Structure 1
Amino acid sequence: MSQVTGQLKRVCFIGGGVSRVTSIKACLEEGMSLPTGQHKRVCIIGGGVSGLSSIKACLEEGLRPVCFEQHDHVGGQWHFSENMETGTDSLCRMFSAVVTNTSKKMTEFSDFPMRKDFPTFIPARKINSYIQDYAEHFDLKKYVQYGIRVDDVSKADDFSQSGQWKVTYTYAKEISHQKTEIFDCVMVCNGIFNEQNWPHYPGLEMFQGEVTHGGNYFHCDPYKDKNVLVVGSSFSAADIAVDLSRVAQNTYISTRRGFWIMPRLPDGQEPWDMTLFSRPLINWLPWALRTRAWGNVLKERFNYQKFDLKPHKRFLSQSLCITDELQNKLLYGQVQAKPSISKFTSSGVTFTDGTSIEDLDAVIFATGYRLKCAFIKDSQVLPENSAEMEMYKHIFPVNIKHQTLVCINYLRVLGSVLPTSELQARVAARVFSGNLKLPRASHMKRDVAEKKSEIINQWGNCTVPKEFVYFYYEELAQLLGVKPQTWKLLVTNPSLVKKLMFGPVTPAQYRLHGPHANFDVAAQSILDT
């Protein structure tokens, strides 16, 4: 049997960025040989931000990604189109008035800066445009298969030796057409917003008005001249209440434990995340003192007690709402704060302080989501109760023999999801390719136990783990070998050193050095901060 010319050649790649990705892709298409272990097929479940960054990370490592997306588009919860109001698009979607809580430079991918004409905080439409541009720039969409629902992921029959997985899936347009394939590795990228969380209150089944979830909210027009109650203390609860107040007759927001309110520009100049996560203050001022100082400032700027919104815990130990308008809406009476709900009646609601609303038209539960991964049924891999999940660095399940299945973005971060998913995907892909070795199982389990203890001390018991982006980025960057090497730049690029030492910790800092660095693009992005 004849051998096709070129298929025995081995290729070495020097450098990173889009050139590396396109070069690896071209070599794979021509059947050329990549370094040992880099012919592995990787199943990526979900074509959102996590899925796209996982495709790119796999290509950088010479892996063969196959992405299954159940919808007809990429972008996940950030996908935005005018027909989303039909309610057929997604369980979690961005409504028309959404603006990012994190600033532009802290939100972008590490080697794909946002356009200079983008505002400091970005509307949902523009974020969707940015994600689509990212996918086009790195030619990622060709690896996505649309209209596919993954039904089951389980260990292959020879898993103990091979570490492979069986993935069973169904084509949306051909329900009877189910197929099973074997993959070397799996990246679960379906996110944490996949099952709406509905609280239970006495009498709710008797209420005659509209009852819906915040994930189904698209715009305020249907609530014109109505009395609407928003339940929750999340970002979305505040955003929906503010949006409703523009047209509703009365808008109420009910919360059990209050919440902290953080303006996007606390000092009127710098974005909150660029101030909170600046390297000098983090390195030189103890975190406890810093959070206490922030809490005192926020308490001085808003009378939480007056509006029954007093937080039950210290700053950054419970719900934080990034909002510029809620404070004024409360002061003007356009949004009215209420305590926890006691019970519903057929036409209204009673609160724990004895007050009530008698003519309520609608209730919107902005009460978040439950983390659910229905297609993994083996509790050793992923327990049904997300609070029991044990994953090294929130990526690698530690109770399986081979680290060939990972979960991307299975946590909540105080910061942006985009660069978090990207850094996780880079770590996972490098492990899959064999270029990064994880510690022994006993070490990883000990690390998981210590991390759980830290999270409980900071946040209390969480159904989904929470992290501050700076500390989490530094952990992953240390593991990956991409922390900025400032000392190397002291003579050649002092302006960049100044930004690294005294500026915010932007995602681009983790593309300056190490595997798949893109120094020129990253350096310019940092200098533009």
Structure 2
Amino acid sequence: MGVKTVAIIGSGVSGLVSLKTCLEEGFEPVCFERESSFGGVWIFHDEPVKTHTRGALYHCLVLNSSKNMTNFSDFPYPKTSSPYIQGKEFINYIKAYVDHFDLERHIRYSTDVKRVEKATDYDVSGRWTISFAHDGEDVKQETYDAVIVCTGLYTERNMAVYPGQEQFTGEIMHSNEYKKADGLANGKTVLVVGGSHSAGDCAVDTSRVSKKTYLSMRKGTWVLQRMGPDGLPRDMAVNRRINFFIPEWLRRKNTVDHIYSRINMDNLGLKSVKKMFCSETMVNDDIGTRILCGAVVCKTGIDHFTKRGVVFTDGTSVEDLDLVVYATGYQLRAPIVDNDIISDGVKDLELYLYIFPPRLKHRTFAAVGFVETIGAHAPVFEMQARYATRVFKGCATLPPEDVMIADIKRRKNFMLNRFGKPKNFFPPIPYQDLLADRIGAKPKLWPMLLSDPVLAYRTFLGPALPYTFRLVGPHSWPGARAAIMDVWDTTFYATKTRIVRKSIGDLWGLDVGALKILLVVLFALTFFLSILC
């Protein structure tokens, strides 16, 4: 029995791309959204979040990935947009995407899904029953051939608890309650807890108006700036297919060398106790400067609270503390689904390729957006949705249950050994290429080299743009090649507001970063061939 109707839970980025891919495959999707508008965590609210079960934006947020790496594979950002997008502006791109593909008519707003469970005839049909309440009305039920859960990782905030915290007389909040420093941190002593992106943002933002801001990190972090080598957006410089043929130790060395050319991590008290690629990272352009001028002070982890302050694990303390911001992330929760399908917490989560529960009898259930990556998330979610819907349609297959479980265990062990804790985390390029290969959308080097060598050069030596997954395969996009070829013009069009003399690379239309990588690879090949001969 084939899939025709699909229920999608949530209309954030992962829900919207799932909705769009369902329409591409000819399904009849319905998207259930408990809020009154689409966008998920990208819906900006000036008032503090009242619930613990969704993420939220703060005013100073800027996307960590550049626009051409963030956008969906067949819907580029406008040429006039800046290379990096402010958080509050990203929703405008999402709205344009929804309008362009006419998605909104398939969304049911103010509809709170209570349960997703197997239908009474599941063993035969593979169908799912959705229990929901619209706008506070009585609970109703509908049955669908397949379901995609898109509630994601940013559901329940993770609030750390330390000894003595209950007696602390200052204010404590999570970063998803944080909006802006003005009116909150003016003239106050602030402590931000965490070592990743939101911790850096909150520390920098509060330090501009606070008396003093302290940043507490148990293990430190690695700070990456948005501007990478050669003045390019960092993700466009490093997220390239060719880079993954370079040994990890060399990539690590190059990354650390570039970091230290901008920020001395030791002198500023930022450096992680774990090596690069195995630790927390923080994308932040200002944290180093704020530490250098004394506005931010780095501290170790918290040992315990006092009535008016905290004592850190190194024995130092801060008194007269007014505000504590926990930028400590979120816990995975999907209470609408049984734990044996989507568990509470990453530790026990079983999802093949982070999408499919392996122990279900029918391949009619998928989870999209339950992952983290270093770089843009939206194209990763899109590729997950494309793979899931191709499986629903029968155009892509899954391996036997034992093979899927073995793959899940292998990936879990790898993450545990690398990070010392369970994580659903990976570099975007090998993962997206893997999923694209399963649906026939992965670009192939040698055929492309013969038919279109210039495009091959851009695809395999240049940034691994989302457009590359629309060059071939199902639902390819005629504009993909032009988007790849014009990427440097569209990246910097908005910033070239003053005419300057062009460099040699610009005159010849060359990607200097790609040429450097190519020279390194050619040198390495020559060296090894000389040894063999």
TM-score by length of structure 2 reads 0.88
- TM-superposed CA distance for 1:192, in Å, is 0.4
- Structure 1: tracts of 5 or more residues without a match: 1-35
Shift of 1:313: 0.9
Corresponding residue number in structure 2 for 1:236: 198
Residue equivalent to 1:37: 2
Whole-Å Cα distance in 2 between the matches of residues 394 and 454 of structure 1? 14
Question: How far apart are 1:273 and its partner, in Å?
Answer: 1.1
Counterpart contact for 1:250–1:334, Cα < 8 Å: yes
Q: Could you report, residue by residue, the CA deviation over 1:118-147 in whole angstroms, capped at 9, with x for unpaired residues? A: 111110122110011001100011110000
Deviations 1:155-188 (A, max 9, x none): 11221111111111112343xx101111111100
Instruction: Tell me the distance in 2 between the aligned counterparts of 1:91 and 1:246.
Output: 28
3-state SS of paired residue (1:244)? helix
SS at match of 1:85: coil
2:11 touches 2:31 (CA, 8 Å); kept in 1? Answer: yes
Residue 188 in structure 1 maps to residue 149 in structure 2:
yes
Partner residue in 1 for 2:32: 68
| Aligned partner letter, 2:90 | I
Q: Quick check: 1:133 aligned with 2:86?
A: no
> Which of residues 131, 135, 144 is equivalent to 1:168?
131
1:88 offset after TM fit, Å?
4.6
Unaligned ranges ≥5, structure 2? 488-533
Alignment of 1:1-16 (within 5 A): none
Shift of 1:492: 5.1
Give the percent of matched residue pairs that are identical in Structure 1 and Structure 2. Answer: 38
Whether the aligned pair in 2 keeps the contact of 1:62 and 1:433 (CA below 8 Å) is no
Distance 1:495 1:300, change over 3 A: closer
Which deviations, in whole Å up to 9, do the C-alpha atoms of 1:338-379 show, x marking residues without a partner? 1111111111111112221111111000000001001112x3
Alignment-derived partner of residue 492 in structure 2: none
How far apart, CA to CA, are the structure 2 residues paired with 1:213 and 1:119? Answer: 30
Picking from 108, 122, 128, the partner of 1:145 is 108
AA aligned to 1:132 is K
Is 1:104 aligned to 2:55, yes or no? no
Code of the aligned partner of 1:254: S
The code of the aligned residue for 1:525 comes to: A
SS across alignment from 1:223: coil
The reply to whether residue 338 of structure 1 matches residue 299 of structure 2 is yes
Letter in 1 for 2:106: Y
2:241 matched to 1:279?
yes
For 1:385 and 1:219, locate their aligned partners in 2 and report how far apart those are by CA, in whole Å.
30
Task: Give secondary structure in 1 for the equivalent of 2:46.
Answer: helix
CA distance in 2, matches of 1:489, 1:390: 37
Q: TM-score, normalised by structure 1?
A: 0.89
1:510 and 1:528 map into 2 onto residues whose CA distance is: 16
Partner residue in 2 for 1:9 = none
Q: How much has 1:268 moved relative to structure 2?
A: 5.1
Counterpart position of 1:306? 267
Equivalent residue, structure 2, for 1:4 = none
How far did 1:491 drift? 5.6
Matched, 1:247 2:220: no
Q: Supply the distance in 2 between the matched residues of 1:491 and 1:426 (Cα, whole angstroms).
A: 28
Of 399, 413, 418, 2:359 maps to 399
2:461 alignment counterpart: 502
User: How is 1:378-417 mapped onto 2 (pairs within 5 angstroms)?
Assistant: 379-417=339-377
Structure 2 residue 350 is matched with structure 1 residue 422? no
Which amino acid in 2 is paired with 1:512?
L
Aligned residue for 1:153, secondary structure, equals: strand
Q: Is the 8 A contact 1:372 1:386 kept in 2?
A: no
Structure 1 residues 166, 505: CA separation in 2 closer, same or farther (over 3 Å shift)?
same
Establish whether residue 446 from structure 1 lines up as the match of residue 406 from structure 2. Answer: yes
Shift of 1:61: 0.7
Q: Which whole-Å CA distance do the structure 2 matches of 1:383 and 1:124 have between them?
A: 30
Change (3 A) 1:125 1:383: closer
Partner of 1:18: none
Does 1:318 pair with 2:279? yes
2:131 aligned partner, one-letter code: T
Name the aligned partner's letter for residue 497 of structure 1: A
Contact 1:485 1:513 in 2 (8 A): no
Tell me whether 312-321 or 441-450 shows the greater mean CA deviation: 441-450
Contact 1:207 1:345 in 2 (8 A): yes
Q: Give the conservation status (yes or no) of the 8 Å contact 2:171–2:323.
A: yes
Cα distance in 1 for residues equivalent to 2:207 and 2:113: 40
**Contact 1:477/1:510, CA 8 A, preserved across alignment:** yes
**Distance in 2, Cα, partners of 1:94 & 1:250:** 23
Amino acid at match of 1:49: V
Alignment partner for residue 185 of structure 2, among 223, 229, 235?
A: 223
Deviates more, 1:314-323 or 1:299-308: 299-308
Q: Tell me how far apart the structure 1 counterparts of residues 290 and 48 of structure 2 sit (CA, whole Å).
A: 29
Q: Which moved more, 1:124-133 or 1:165-174?
A: 165-174
Tell me the distance in 2 between the aligned counterparts of 1:495 and 1:297.
29
